[in-house]
A and B are shown apart, each in its own frame.
Chain A
Amino acid sequence: MGSEQTEGARQLLLQTYRSMRRIRRFEERTADLIEAGEIKTPCHLYIGQEAIAAGVCAALGRDDYIWGGHRSHGHYLAKGGGLAAMMAELYGKATGCSGGRGGSMHLVAPEVGLLGTVPLVAATIPLAVGAALASKLRNDGRVSVSFFGDGATEEGHFHESLNLAALYRLPVIFVCENNFYSSHLHLLERRAEDNIVESGRAHGVPAARLDGNDALAVHQATAEAVARARRGDGPTLLECRTYRWRGHVGPAWDMDVGVRRKDELKEWQSRDPVAQGRQRLLDGGYPEAELEQTDRGIEEEIEQAVEFARTSPYPDEASLLDFVYASGTGGP
């Protein structure tokens, strides 16, 4: 882009960089806090995949819906969920985004359209289709995004949902974050071919394969999918190829899959999405001092969140049975 960078492009670069850096540092701090024994809820860290959450959410409006899975800290932050409320949730505190009932795997921020994340693989794919159906019936212009991993494409939920969304031309975007490992098992140990993107064609859903470490590429493809959805032209499948740097769960680097993965990791680390975003800004003439100031702001925000989480109260035992049933009319 160099000096040709327009103001709009620079804003997008800055927005996605800040979003990615915030996720990266939140996750690194969380990893430390797990190792220190302060956070005990199982955390599936998003480090390495930040460009996908940042790129997708930069193409969405505040009212658009997103749905996630077990590895959704990044989705929550990128869509605008409160950072301190998520940290408090990881501590199981009453001030957490799910009141200490959810933990890392059940995040919610209805005020910014995040209607829930759950660890049951592929479970929120049909739910995202349902929210898109709600939008279509209300004609309210909202788009619904489903984030899921490559493992989820092996579930029936995925195929049934693509068919339903295509049949009813629903405003939903299926974002598959293909990091090549479902827990410990490589993609090619789970399917005959590396062809997730072709599932789209089979179900009549336009699909594209993307570099999931390039926030701008992800943003561009999502923006096109959003436009298609808002026009009433139906769903899109985006396969974003990426790599998670840490193990399936917890702070360790490769505890699940052994030594072979180290070479891969090295290769993918050379394509670090956060460093890439930073370099683009610098190449475009953005002052390094201002970037450092942005970074410092993120550090302060995270430290304040840790302090907030540490000092917040635990939920009252007397509230154990609250919320088993909704009290009123339900819905956001």
Chain B
Amino acid sequence: MRTLTYAQAIREAHALLLENDPRVFLIGQGLRSPWYAGGSLEGLDSEFGPERVMDSPVSENATTGAAVGAAIAGMRPIVFHPRMDFMLLALDPIINQAANWSYMFAGQVSVPLVIRAVVNRGGEQGAQHAQAMQALFMHLPGLKVVMPSTPHDAKGLLIAAVADGNPVLYIDDRWLYDEVGPVAEEMYTVPIGTAAVRKEGADVTIVATSYMAVEAMKAVAVLAERGIDAEMIDLRSIKPWDHELIFDSVRKTGRLVISDAAWKTAGVAAEIAASVSTELFDALKAPIQRVTLPDAPAPVSAALERAYYITAGDIVTAAERAVGV
């Protein structure tokens, strides 16, 4: 099958959506600029025109609110936040409005909106250019949250998010943009709420989100050399998340490592750990391990960044602890 990079797959999903559905439009900052969007939106403005690819003023609140309003009025907007940190200026339209709208009005009006946020970590950028806040949004009823890690899922989840009919936060990570993988040329969806087993195994289950899924596959290879047969699950969808697939895996292995490149306290890993320990207490052979960022803002100095970010090595260590090596 044809291969694309992650960024190209996102671009292709946008192009197909714009081509096939007149209700779809893009609004946000930096749509025309590779500085903001990498190759993920390249050339869309010239292909589909500035009316539908609106590189906007520096107004996160109004552009996101306008996307919410247009969605309520029947459009299928995608609002783009090139750095998730800056999206925090739009929390009122996202949380107070989009997430609550369907419930407040008993489902008579809803918000078929995609909010795309990019995590752009590393590179000595510091605390306000690096935050991955999926847990904050996972907390909120009415929102869905997805984090694809492969080019195939990047395309399929974006198309699914637009089709969903609810506000969906689509988070992609710049560290994944050059990942290469097979991507079908047609329109297809990856169902929101489904995780994917990337490698089957018997000894320990590793659940990973976004770019930690890439790190986890490296960890699986190292573990195999050391005689540990790990099962690797790419979570893909943060909310709703695939309880069944993870529970089935933990029933089989009895051990669980969860890796999410965000803060530990009240995070995605904490939520999954709590659910698994409630539902599968008797199946667990060892304490659940969390591999996350420390509870601290991102530093600048490369020396500190190396200590801050987590890698395959941290997953290997956690998996070995789980199996009691």
Contact = CB atoms under 8 A, between A and B. Distances in A.
Interface in B15-70: 22, 25, 51-52, 54, 56-57, 59, 61-70
A106 B105 contact: yes
A322 interface: yes
Contacts of B73: 65, 115, 130-131, 134-135, 144, 331-332
B96 A123 contact: yes
Given A130-B66, A161-B65, A167-B57, A325 B72 contact: no
A127 B74 CA distance: 12
A102 B105 contact: yes
A241 interface: no
A157 B107 contact: no
B72 A108 contact: no
Nearest to A125: B65
A127 B69 contact: yes
Per DSSP, chain A at the interface is mixed
B104 to A, nearest CB: 4
A164 interface: yes
A160 B110 contact: no
Nearest to B67: A130
A157 B92 CA distance: 10
A99 interface: yes
Contact of B72 (A100, A116, A120, A323): A116
B182 interface: no
A99 to B, nearest CB: 3
A82 interface: no
A126 B105 contact: no
A215 B144 CA distance: 44
Nearest to B97: A123
Given A134-B74, A164-B57, A330-B71, A127 B66 contact: yes
A327 interface: yes
A311 interface: no
A131 B104 contact: no
A126 B65 contact: yes
Contacts of B66: 126-127, 129-130, 133, 161, 164
B62 A323 contact: no
Given A123-B65, A127-B69, A128-B69, A108 B105 contact: yes
B111 A330 contact: yes
B97 A127 contact: yes
B299 interface: no
A160 B69 contact: no
A123 to B, nearest CB: 6
Interface in A165-179: 167-168
Nearest to A158: B62
Interface residues on A, range: 35 or more
Contacts of B51: 137
Given A156-B61, A164-B66, A116 B112 contact: no
A131 B105 contact: no
A15 interface: no
A130 B96 CA distance: 16
A326 B102 contact: yes
A124 B101 CA distance: 12
Nearest to A67: B69
Contacts of B141: 324
Contacts of A116: 72, 101, 104-105, 109
A137 B103 CA distance: 27
A64 to B, nearest CB: 11
A281 interface: no
B107 A323 contact: yes
Interface in A295-332: 322-332
Given A160-B61, A326-B112, A130 B92 contact: no
5 smallest CB-CB distances across A and B, nearest first, come from: A130-B69, A126-B65, A99-B106, A127-B69, A160-B62
10 contacts: A67-B69, A120-B92, A126-B61, A126-B64, A127-B97, A144-B73, A168-B54, A325-B102, A327-B165, A331-B73
Interface of B: 22, 25, 51-52, 54, 56-57, 59, 61-75, 77, 92-93, 96-97, 101-112, 141-142, 144, 165-166
Interface of A: 65, 67, 98-102, 106, 108, 110, 115-116, 118, 120, 123-135, 137-138, 144, 156-157, 160-161, 163-164, 167-168, 322-332
Given A130-B77, A330-B165, 14 more contacts: A98-B104, A108-B105, A108-B108, A118-B96, A118-B104, A127-B69, A129-B65, A132-B69, A137-B70, A138-B22, A160-B57, A326-B111, A329-B112, A330-B166
